[in-house]
Structure 1
Amino acid sequence: MLHSSYIEISKSALQNNIDFIRQEIGTSVKLSSVVKGNAYGHGIEQFGKLAQECGIDHFSVFSADEADRLLQTLEKPATIMIMGYVDNPELEWAIQHEIEFFIFELDRLLEASAIAKKLGKRAKVHLELETGMNRTGFDKTALEHAEAVLEGCREYVELQGVCTHYAGAESLQNHERVLRQLHAYEQQLQQLKEAGHTPIQRHTACSAAMVSYPQTRMDMVRVGIMQYGFWPSPETYTHYISQHNEKKDPLRRLINWKSHIMSLKSVPRGEYIGYGTTFQAPRDMVLAVVPVGYAWGYSRSLSNQGQVLIKGTRAGVVGTVNMNVMMVDVTNILDVQKNDEVVLLGMQGDESITVASFGELSTQLNYELLTRLPLNIPRYIID
């Protein structure tokens, strides 16, 4: 094994999740697969190709570099939409390759129009509205200026979409704020229409909004975390379950993160283990050294708290997680051998280590832990 750990991505799990999402949104709503953050840690190159095989033909990325990685990967034509970072000099590349992109500043709209005119190609843009997130987007005043610019560049700029993003649809405490945002979006959309600018697509829903606020689905939903088999929050899952008779999680996790035992170590009672004095052996112990540490995405905050699976049994992390290795207690696991499989995340036998369990121990969100998995951990597709 050249690498100290590897990730398995399940095709059948992805197909299950995509089928479920499409069942929820219906046939008239477009599904855009969000693959920002290296496809939430699953790998843009591996996941993009796999998603196409599962019927996806629309992708959302954060930046131009992600769009380029995806473009180089996909084997069939697909729509790629940049939701965030694209420098004005990169707009020419995007327009030339028919990449769609969000517009949330006047200078980007003006630049896109000028470049499209020079290239003799229309720029497909998505106008982002500021509705209460207070991050990016045109507020009501700036929108009036955008309308005037759009009017002057109809020949070169196509209003593909009008969009916004909700500030916390995954939490009930944001309920009123989300509803205010939806109302603001509808008002500004009407303002645009009255000025003669009707988009081809209206889209506002992320995974959480798609589940908890069906009225936000509109023409397209931008689904990230749920396609990978995770709910945006326990509240979102509870809301879904409360609406259905079947009390079973319809999603399946795609990801299994595995390593192996690098070495076995006997430690006498009373000895400290690893750096510092955070763990003192309460008895004679047998430790397995696993070649994964915080440099590989296994948080240092999981020291003396994390768990892995070996021979279908949970083994606790003891001592401080190092940069490249950690130690786990295998004293009570029979017949442990060097090179035995270690599951850091996923299933082994009847046991599982979930991302949620990582989050509870390390205070990381599902999103944070997944996207911190390094690029150079190899990803393999399995059935």
Structure 2
Amino acid sequence: MNLQNLKQNIKSISGLVKPRAKILAVVKANAYGHMALPCAKAALAAGASALGVSSIEEGITLRRGGIKAPILILGSIFPFVNLSLAVKNNLTPTISSLQGLAELARIGARLGKRLPFHLKVDTGMGRVGLTPSSAISAIEKAAARKEVSLEGIYTHFSSSLDREFTDLQLEKFLAVTNFAKKLKLKFTAHAANSGALLTNKKTHLDMVRPGLAVYGLLPFETEKQKINLSPVLSWKTRVVFMKRVPAKTPISYDRTFVTGRSSLIATLPVGYADGYLRSLSNKAEALINGRRCPVVGRVTMDMIMVDVTKAGGVSIGAEAVLLGAQGSDNISVEEMARWANTINYEIACGISARVPRVIV
């Protein structure tokens, strides 16, 4: 984990967004598989003003790690009684329903405090959030209550590359925020995820919520020229076993690969239990001695086999790069995602907890 790259990514994002727009760095899902606490600290040190997590549990982990900055829980909290746990740990909840708002007000009344929250508006994602009309009702109720404080209003874009639909979502969202402004409420409006902050400056508003971009990854490779980002993550292992086998030797489960010649086969201690997807079987490559070596046979739970016949001088203990650079070559998260017929988000988030993270 190269945290200097992460800090530079935050600065690059800051240079792209409107001058007045703050940055909420999304560190949910263990910082997209990168390790939440050190990434959170690095993002804040580089200029992010707040953090976004998926759950109360993720927020508590950051608080116990010494994070004092605002933390927004992006997920929908249920059962509503758990809102009290968010309040206890100074975590800002997302309210996505009138029922949730009522429960937060009850907690505020019991504690004798005015509790902050962000209101989630569903403008077209179809996941969680109040409809625009229900959001207006919630804003009216919040404005009339002393137990709650509307600190933010936000929405989420479903397809940032679809400019027409994104503009439609934004129009619906701004109708809600404009209503709140007419009530003289002071709040932070935010909508832009990584995709929107790259493709549509109108969406930047008061704050942006980059997730993938923080880690040097892009939701669309077509946007590379718009921002200078560097991947934070590399994934490396070492050769633990080698054998030379004759032609017509089957490798791994179900004999999906059979050698066509005398071959030198190396075993690497990584498998689908580590997040190296089974769909990479007979498709992926690893860098060993600066050469691309194909993954042969099925990816197993704990190991993969690679053909190092052409790599030259490979020995047990040799470094194998699954993601990242070696020599003059590089395997990107995007390339691995293409091999697995998935998205870069899933590759990064899927690297399991049993894979050690090392900060450099």
TM over 0.5, shorter chain: yes
**Counterpart contact for 1:110–1:149, Cα < 8 Å:** no
Counterpart in 2 of 1:50? 42
Counterpart in 1 of 2:89? 97
Which of the residues 277, 299, 303 maps onto 2:255? 277
Q: CA deviation at 1:122?
A: 2.0
Q: Distance in 1 between matches of 2:44 and 2:138?
A: 35
**Counterpart contact for 2:23–2:209, Cα < 8 Å:** yes
Count of paired positions: 359
Superposition pairs of residues 1-383 of structure 1, within 5 angstroms: 9-73=1-65, 75-87=66-78, 88-153=80-145, 155-169=146-160, 171=161, 174-194=162-182, 196=183, 198-237=185-224, 240=226, 250-382=228-360
Q: Distance in 2 between matches of 1:122 and 1:342?
A: 54
Identify unmatched segments of 5+ residues in structure 2.
Answer: none
- SS in structure 1 opposite 2:179? helix
Q: CA deviation at 1:76?
A: 4.8
Identify unmatched segments of 5+ residues in structure 1.
Answer: 1-8, 241-248
Q: Do the aligned partners of residues 216 and 26 (structure 1) sit closer, same or farther apart at CA in structure 2, a change above 3 Å counting?
A: closer
**Counterpart contact for 2:198–2:223, Cα < 8 Å:** yes
Aligned residues: percent identity?
A: 33
**Counterpart contact for 2:22–2:48, Cα < 8 Å:** no
Q: CA deviation at 1:27?
A: 3.7
Give the letter aligned to residue 12 of structure 1.
Q
Query: What do the CA deviations read for 1:156-212 (whole angstroms, capped 9, x no partner)?
Result: 21110111111110x2xx221111111111112223333x26242111111111111
Give the letter aligned to residue 204 of structure 1.
A
Q: CA deviation at 1:98?
A: 2.3
Give the letter aligned to residue 120 of structure 1.
G
- SS in structure 1 opposite 2:270? coil
Q: CA deviation at 1:13?
A: 0.8
Q: CA deviation at 1:330?
A: 0.6
Q: CA deviation at 1:12?
A: 1.8
Give the letter aligned to residue 219 of structure 1.
D
Q: Distance in 2 between matches of 1:15 and 1:365?
A: 24
Q: Distance in 2 between matches of 1:205 and 1:199?
A: 19
Q: Do the aligned partners of residues 231 and 326 (structure 1) sit closer, same or farther apart at CA in structure 2, a change above 3 Å counting?
A: same
Q: Distance in 2 between matches of 1:89 and 1:347?
A: 48
**Counterpart contact for 2:242–2:264, Cα < 8 Å:** yes
Q: Do the aligned partners of residues 157 and 164 (structure 1) sit closer, same or farther apart at CA in structure 2, a change above 3 Å counting?
A: same
Counterpart in 2 of 1:244? none
Query: What do the CA deviations read for 1:224-265 (whole angstroms, capped 9, x no partner)?
Result: 011100111123336x3xxxxxxxx61100101111111001
**Counterpart contact for 1:99–1:124, Cα < 8 Å:** no
What root-mean-square deviation, in Å, do the aligned CA atoms of Structure 1 and Structure 2 show? 1.6
Give the letter aligned to residue 286 of structure 1.
L
Give the letter aligned to residue 330 of structure 2.
S
Q: CA deviation at 1:269?
A: 0.7
**Counterpart contact for 2:275–2:350, Cα < 8 Å:** yes
Which structure is richer in relative contact order (CA contacts within 8 A, separation 6 or more)?
Answer: 1
Q: CA deviation at 1:26?
A: 4.3
Q: Distance in 1 between matches of 2:223 and 2:265?
A: 39
TM-score, normalised on structure 2? 0.95
**Counterpart contact for 2:264–2:309, Cα < 8 Å:** yes
Q: Distance in 1 between matches of 2:171 and 2:43?
A: 33
